[in-house]
Chain A
Amino acid sequence: MTDQTKPPSLYAPRVPIFPRRVTGFFRNFKWAILIVTLGIYYVTPWIRWDRGPSLPDQAVLVDIASRRFYFFWIEIWPHEFYFVAGLLIMAGLGLFLFTSALGRVWCGYTCPQTVWTDLFMLVERWIEGDRNARVRLQKAPWSLRKWRLRLTKWTVWLAIAIATGGAWVFYFTDAPTLARDLVSLTAHPAAYITIAILTATTFVFGGFLREQVCIYMCPWPRIQAAMMDTDTITVAYRDWRGEPRGKNNKRRIQAAAVQIEAQQQAAGAGEARYPGTPYREAAKPAIPALEPETGPEPEPGDCIDCMACVNVCPMGIDIRNGQQMECITCALCIDACDDVMAKIGKPRGLIDYIALSDETAERAGEPAKPLWKHILRPRTIMYTLLWSLIGIGLVYALFIRSDIELTVSPVRNPTYVTLSDGTIRNIYDVRLRNKSGEARDFRLKLTSEELLRIELEGMDDLTLQVPANTTVLQRVYVTARPQDPAATSAATPLRLWVEDTTAQTRASKATTFNGKAN
């Protein structure tokens, strides 16, 4: 088939979004989360934690040069990286759990992209005004005023962005020292480069790309559909209640007028703006009797098509179109709509956190399933169980860690060495780790059912000093005399022990002795 007309463009220019200011429960909740998360991010590197003279006193420090990760009283060595892996798996499972139970709460409340964009929008509103003012400014020609407002906004954004990148590097080295070095321009180039990159990404992502990051860059919106089902509590529009929507419905105008009047009369009675009764249990407000209509008009829904939900949406979508990939469930439309519902005297919750499976029941006016039945279901229980098991495992592993550790690598090239007198010798590369803050004397021992002897390369006895916070590689020899059974048998199990002579703590590793039959 041929088509002579010009085909539509395959590329679309971005439609700018000017979210309107909104107040309400979810907005306040989001402000609280913003303050807490940003607070944690900016303050954490400055918390001090005394670990003695030989160790850094920064509470949270990723010391890449010395290959240590410090977290308050916990010190992670490279060989304990499974803690980090475990935490990452827990973070993943936690994300699955929250998404399957409460939808995209990560996206809506705690994702850094959301939090910083929120902050950038706040700055934008302070400087350029609310939605209408910003739309006007956008359309206005480049005047002196527009330049002034734009430059002020960009400057504040840039300051936030620099602070963001700046805070990041403090996690990797002593914060006060680095702060001094940064200011005196003597810090390592890596610090400046990292700050520059993070400043650029924060500035661009938070200031300009915003919802484009969520829609086109982030994989999570596309993955999360697999985590959600009809029992998931998510932000949705009760279309059975709202439709048919419309502004110019006579019945509605009359009803609203009556309601507002009633409300004003009852204002003295101190009725709460948001009565705790859910809509489905409350009686639908009675609409006063009307004059006969001239034409047929269906009974109007609660939605007056005021576009408040659309105007506050940071993603620029219309929640009334149903579940959408773009929706980050920030719940600001709930706040906006509740506000309008209160003004026109309708119960709150036209847009609300609801489970889609309740739709049929609600439409029929029947009570919906209780919240806990939505939350507690096999998949969320499974996620919680897995999450807790890994958590318990990690905590257990954390508590059984000791200050001394050894790893034993038997040298198997060759499997054994024959000495002049026929003695059979096995060699082991033993790594001794002293995690205490001071040098310690470690004594090595051996236990076995057979007669075996232990010697250390280059040492006269079995005790060696291991400096503080270091791993020492020691070559260990285990020998069996020619007449002993271990010398002629294929493999003899043995256990190598290390004892901290100061702290009286011990650790051991099982290994094997190879004889001539090997």
Chain B
Amino acid sequence: MSKGKKDDVTGTETTGHSWDGIEELNTPLPRWWLWTLYLCIIWGIAHTIAYPAWPMISGATKGVLGWSTRANVAAEITAHDAKNAELVTALLATDMETLPASADLNRYAIARGGAVFRSNCSQCHGSGAAGTKGYPNLLDDDWLWGGQMADIEFTVRHGIRNEQDSDARYSQMPAFGEMLEKEEIAAVVEHVVSLSSAEYDANLSATGATVFADNCSACHGEDGLGDRIQGAPNLADAIWLYGGDHETLTNTVVNGQFGIMPAWGPRLTEADIRAVSAYVHSLGGGE
């Protein structure tokens, strides 16, 4: 076991370690490799001093360079905003009705509006804007309050039937359960079904037509085509916000409906309101 002993088979120097006759060969690492390891350790320590690293009881060491991911993101957002500043100015200056005519600006507005929609509107209207029971589908061509760019923008800004914005679109369907007899309600439901379906009881519907004319036509129109000024739905089309079956219609007539949408004017920037309006307008139903 003297220093520099050679292994008989390989001719390689051994480390002098031997276990049950098995000797460990010594294949030395290059010395520069060792220095690289030390340099990496030094670099690692320097890095933890320069950047946030060591966990403390609350938070972590800040690092002498003052670097933070949040500041980085903020800087990136600022840089991005600066890049888009021109487009934003143009968006604010453009008349919304003529927006689709300027292709680049429209593309920007729709992309921006998509982002606004996904973080603010998708909770109720769905990420694909298809809505759900009680929350309108924004992809179809049926609008309660109007589907022109200006209508959509107004709805976004002020909302519907909310109490925060005095300009919010407002209407209320009465609860007819207190005003009409059960038979009258059944008849008027049958009449409403007859407006959009071929399967209905003709006699009952005829009775219901009178009830409809007396109680409903003021808002929904004589033919049940609705009235956008009052947000009264078109009852003759194929689209139902709450459902077009007898049970749901009866419930609607008895209790009324009172869908609320918040006002987004105070929450979103002017550019965001315009952008999200352009986005909704571009989904397939825009008028």
Contacts and interface: CB of A to CB of B under 8 A. Distances in A.
A11 B142 contact: no
Interface stretch (A67-75, A337-345, A390-398, A415-423): A415-423
Interface residues of B, number: 36
A425 B284 contact: yes
Contacts of B18: 1
B30 A12 contact: yes
A457 B279 CA distance: 12
B61 interface: no
A189 interface: no
A364 B239 CA distance: 95
Contact of A8 (B26, B128, B141): B26
A5 B29 contact: no
A413 interface: yes
A10 B18 CA distance: 16
B17 to A, nearest CB: 8
A420 B140 contact: yes
Nearest to B34: A11
B30 A11 contact: yes
Interface in B119-159: 126-128, 130, 137, 139-142
Given A1-B1, A475-B282, A417 B237 contact: no
Contacts of B127: 413
Contact of A5 (B3, B31, B237): B3
B30 A7 contact: no
B34 to A, nearest CB: 5
A7 B32 CA distance: 20
A143 interface: no
A482 B26 contact: no
Nearest to A217: B33
A458 interface: yes
A5 B1 CA distance: 8
Contact of B31 (A12, A422, A458, A475): A12
Q: Is the interface of B mostly helix, strand, loop or mixed?
A: loop
B227 interface: no
Contacts of B19: 1
A133 interface: no
B242 to A, nearest CB: 15
B284 A216 contact: no
Contact of A6 (B3, B29, B106, B234): B3
A216 B130 contact: no
B100 interface: yes
Interface string A468-490: 00000001010000100000000
Contact of A14 (B1, B14, B31): B31
A10 B26 contact: yes
Contacts of A12: 28-31
B79 to A, nearest CB: 16
B44 interface: no
Contact of B238 (A9, A14, A414, A421): A421
Interface in A172-208: none
A11 B31 contact: yes
Interface in A151-183: none
B284 A414 contact: no
Contact of A418 (B4, B128, B239): B239
A422 B195 CA distance: 13
B13 interface: yes
Nearest to A212: B30
Interface string B82-115: 0000000000000000001000001000000000
B162 interface: no
A3 B5 CA distance: 12
B2 interface: yes
A92 to B, nearest CB: 28
Given A11-B30, A12-B29, A457-B284, A413 B130 contact: yes
Interface residues of A, number: 31
Nearest to B101: A458
A411 interface: yes
Contacts of B3: 5-8
B111 to A, nearest CB: 9
Nearest to B196: A422
Contacts of B210: none
Contacts of A11: 28-31, 33-34
A13 interface: yes
B16 interface: yes
A425 B33 CA distance: 67
B1 A420 contact: no
B4 A8 contact: yes
A413 B122 CA distance: 12
B30 A414 contact: no
Contact of A417 (B17, B29, B31, B130): B130
B284 A427 contact: yes
B15 interface: yes
A325 B196 CA distance: 84
Contacts of B137: 414, 417
Interface string A117-136: 00000000000000000000
Contact of A216 (B14, B30, B106): B30
A209 B36 CA distance: 13
Interface in A365-423: 411, 413-414, 417-422
Contacts of A3: 1, 16-17
A420 B234 contact: yes
Contacts of B237: 420-422
The residue in B14, B28, B106 that gathers the most chain A C-beta atoms within 10 A of its C-beta is B28
A496 B161 CA distance: 43
Nearest to A420: B237
A8 B140 contact: no
B284 A14 contact: no
A207 B2 CA distance: 39
A413 B284 CA distance: 14
B201 to A, nearest CB: 22
Contacts of B142: 419-420
A419 B140 contact: yes
Interface of B: 1-4, 13-19, 26, 28-34, 100, 106, 126-128, 130, 137, 139-142, 234, 237-239, 282, 284
Q: Which 7 A-B pairs have the closest CB atoms?
A: A413-B128, A12-B28, A420-B237, A422-B238, A414-B130, A417-B139, A3-B1
Given A11-B30, A413-B126, 12 more contacts: A3-B16, A7-B3, A7-B16, A8-B26, A8-B28, A9-B28, A12-B30, A12-B31, A414-B130, A417-B139, A420-B142, A475-B282
10 contacts: A5-B2, A212-B32, A413-B127, A413-B130, A420-B142, A425-B140, A427-B284, A457-B284, A458-B100, A482-B238
